[in-house]
Structure 1
Amino acid sequence: MSAPEEAVMAGDEARIVAPSPIDAILTGRFACRQFCNAPVARRTIEQILRVARFAPSGANIQPWHVYVLTGEVKGKVSAALLEAHETSRDEHVSEYKYYATDLPGLYLKRRQEFGRLFYGSLGIHQADSEGRSRQTAKNYTFFGAPVGLIVTIDRRLEVGSWLDLGMFVQNIMLAAAGRGLQSCPQETFAKYHRILRPLLSIPAEQMVVCGISVGKAKLQGQDRLMPRADIDEFATFLGFED
C-alpha cells in the first residue's frame, strides 16, 4: 500500500501500524510465471547479487554459486531441458528430496490447496496430466524471463548450509523486487542436473539446487493467489505483557 499507514487485522480488531519501506517489497513479491521480454542488464543482475551476498551464513562460509544465463546460452539450456521433458522426463531425478514422502496432514492440506488454486486459475483440471505437463514445461523457458539463474551448493556441506543458501536465494528475489523486477524460484531445474552439468560446466562437487527466473512481470500488480497462514497459526509468544 502506498498510504503512510495501513490497517492490519489482529483477530477481530483492526490496529494501525506504520509500515517499513521493506514491507511493500516483501508483500509485493510473488512467484511470477509470466514475464515480458524486456531485457535486464548485466549490471542490474550484478547489483542484485552484490546485495544478496550479504545473506548470513554459518562461519561466513557463503555456500552458494550462481550461473547467470541469458541470450543464446539460456536458449540452448531451455531447448535441452524441453526435449528431455518431452522425451525422457522419467529418466531424470533430483539429487535431493524436496518434499517428505509422507507429508503430515497440515502440510499435505496446504499442498493440495496449492494444486487446486494454481491449476484452477489456469483452467487445468486436476486429472488433466497433459495440461499439467505443458504448464511444467514453461519452467524450462524460464517463463519467458530474459535472465535465468541456476543455483548450486557444494554437496559436501550439511543441512545448515542449505539454510544459509535459502536466505541467499530469498535475498536475490527481494533485491530484484526492490528494482522493479519479479522472480520465480524453481526447484524443477534440479531434476535435470545431468543435462545442466555439461552445458554450464558445473563441477562434480556442486549440486544443482534450483533455478530462478528474473525479469519484468508481464502483468504488474497481480493479486496474491496463494493464502498465507496468520501468525497465530505459526508463532508462539512468550513473556510479553499485553
Structure 2
Amino acid sequence: MTQNPTARPPVHDPASVDAAITGRMSVRAFLPTPVPREVLTHLLEVASRAPSGTNTQPWKVYVLQGRSRDALCEKVCAAHDAIRDNPALAAEYQEAYDYYPKQWVSPYIDRRRENGWGLYGLLGIGKGDKDKMHAQHQRNFRFFDAPVGLMVTIDKVMGGGSLVDTGMFLQNLMVAARAHGLDTCPQAAWNGYARIILPHIGAGEHEMLVCGMALGYADTADKVNTFRTPRVPVAEFTTWLE
C-alpha cells in the first residue's frame, strides 16, 4: 500500500485494537477480584480522549466500590422488589430521557426479542417465569457482582449532543478495559432509579443520570458469559455513494 509520508502513521499493532473492540461484550457475571485504583484511573484517562462538541467533555463519573456500592445495590433492589409487589409504584421512578422508543417497530423489535429470548433461553427462563425474570433483571442492580460500579451523569443544561459525546466516552472506557483484561456491562437499567442513585452518589440537582456500568474481571466459568449477540452485516446498514 502506498502511504502519504505526511500522513499520521497507523498504530503499531492494529490487530490488537480490533481485538479489543470486537472482544468487548456485555458481561453478566464477574469475579470478586478487586480492580486497583490506579488501573481505574488509567482507564478513565484514556477514555477521556473521546471527542465532544467544542471539547465540552460533558461526562461526569462516579466510581462505587465496597460499602458505597453495596449500599446502593440494596436500596435499588428494595425499590425493584417493591415495584414487583405493587406495580403502581413504577410511576415514582421515571427515566430522565427516553432510552427506548415508545412504539417499537421492525427490525428493532425483532432484534430486541432475539436478544431477550436468546439470553433467557440460555439461562432456562421460560416466557411465564416471572420470578426468574425478576431475579435475572435484578442482577443489573448488583452490577452482576462486579466489584466496581460506575454511574455516569451529564449536566441537565446540555443538549442531546452531549449524550452522543458521553456514549463515545463510554465506548472508549469499555474498549480500554478490554485491552487491560477487564470486562464491562453498560446498564441503562439503572436510569429509572435516578431519584435513589443521584443523592446516594452526591450528584447535584443539575445532573442527569445517563447510565450505569459494571466493571471487573469476567467469570468465564459462568454460562451467561457464553452469550454473544449477533451483528447485522455491513451491507445492511451502509449506503455507498461515489
Tell me the TM-score range normalised by the shorter chain.
0.7 to 0.9
C-alpha deviation, 1:211, in angstroms: 0.5
Amino acid at match of 2:204: P
TM-score (norm 2): 0.88
Tell me, yes or no, if structure 1 residue 79 matches structure 2 residue 82. Answer: no
Amino acid at match of 2:58: P
1:174-189 correspondence runs (5 A):
174-189=175-190
Matched, 1:226 2:229: yes
Deviation at 1:105, TM superposition (A): 1.1
Instruction: Determine which structure has the larger strand proportion and give its number.
Output: 1
Q: Deviations along 1:170-209, whole A, 9 cap, x unmatched? A: 1110111111000000001111111112211110111011
Change (3 A) 1:170 1:220: farther
Which runs of structure 2 are paired with 1:193-208 in the superposition (5 Å)?
Answer: 193-208=194-209
CA shift, 1:108, in A, is 1.1
User: Following superposition of structure 1 onto structure 2, how do residues 105-120 of structure 1 map, counting pairs within 5 Å?
Assistant: 105-120=106-121
Is residue 66–residue 149 contact of structure 1 (8 Å, CA) maintained in 2? Answer: yes
**SS of residue matched to 2:35:** coil
- Contact 2:119-2:227 at 8 Å conserved across structures: no
Q: Normalising by structure 1, report the TM-score.
A: 0.88
By how many angstroms is 1:19 displaced? Answer: 6.1
Counterparts of 1:62-211 in structure 2 under 5 Å? 62-88=57-83, 90=90, 91-211=92-212
Residue in 2 aligned with 1:30? 25
Aligned to 2:42: 47
Instruction: Flag as ranges the 4+ runs of structure 1 deviating above 4 A.
Output: 220-224
Instruction: Provide the alpha-carbon RMSD of the alignment.
Output: 1.7
Aligned to 2:238: 235
Cα distance, 1:103 vs. partner? Answer: 2.1
Distance 2:65 2:111 in 1: 34
Cα separation, partners in 2 of 1:19 and 1:60, compared to 1, 3 Å: closer
Name stretches of at least 5 consecutive residues in structure 2 with no aligned partner.
Answer: 1-12, 84-88
Q: Is the 8 A contact 2:188 2:211 kept in 1?
A: yes
Which of 1 and 2 has higher RCO (CA within 8 Å, sep 6+)? 2
* Letter of the structure 1 residue corresponding to residue 21 of structure 2: L
Of Structure 1 and Structure 2, the greater helix share is in 2
Cα deviation 1:208-236 (Å, max 9, x = unaligned)? 11111000000079555211001011011
Q: Is residue 117–residue 225 contact of structure 1 (8 Å, CA) maintained in 2?
A: no
Q: Indicate if the aligned counterparts of 2:163 and 2:210 stay in contact, CA closer than 8 A.
A: no
